[in-house]
Amino acid sequence: MLVVCPECGAEISQYSETCVKCGFPLKKFMDDNGLNDFEHVKICPKCGCTNCSAYPQDGVPMHLKCTECGTTLVQTDIPCKGFYKNFTLETEREYMAEIANKYGGNQFQQEMYDEWIAKLHAPSQRPASKPQLNQPHCPYCNSTNLTKVSGTSRFASTLMFGIGSKKVGKQWKCNNCKSYF
């Protein structure tokens, strides 16, 4: 299983003694904080953020520090498999507060948890951005004040100036800088 280095964020093997990128003593950190069991839920004692995969072998790297507030996670005795079946959306707040208090020594802060839950459930509530219009713009001055060069105009210019006409092969004229493109 891969873990995320608490120092630099690199993904490394759980069996590494130190981080190959920054030299952080990963094995010692995991041993000191009791974060060696990847079959059980890890929870942030402050904000209640959980670090649990339904299937620990699914290739998702395991964080050892909270992704929300940076606090070192605490190991629980709750199995990852089936963890999310222990509560419903209505009882989630109380359940998470209860286990964060149980394993975190009353460091739990309800406001931080509420912020985390708001972020967690917010992706479906992102404001819809206006669709990007495919509008041409001048490559020189970035203006959208353009006029289309008509076929008749190109033909007349070619008749007058020949193949050297500046309108040959051009579709737009910028009304600001007067360039053709």
The predicted-structure confidence for 65-118, as pLDDT tens digits, reads as follows 888 888 888 888 888 777 777 777 677 778 877 887 788 777 877 788 778 777
Helices (H), the chain: 26-33, 92-104, 110-121, 151-161
Long-range interactions of 137-142: CB distance < 8 A, separation 24+: 138/172, 138/174, 138/176, 138/177, 138/179, 138/181, 139/181, 140/174, 140/177, 140/179, 140/181, 141/174, 141/176, 141/177, 141/179
pLDDT at 173 (0 to 100): 92
pLDDT at 47 over 70: yes
pLDDT classification of 147: cutoffs 50, 70, 90: very high
- The residues, any chain, with a CB within 8 Å of residue 83's CB and separated by 6 or more, are 41, 50, 52, 54
Please tell me whether the overall predicted TM-score, pTM, comes out greater than 0.75 for this model.
no
Q: What does the pLDDT average to over 21-45?
A: 87
Place of tokens 């972020």: 119
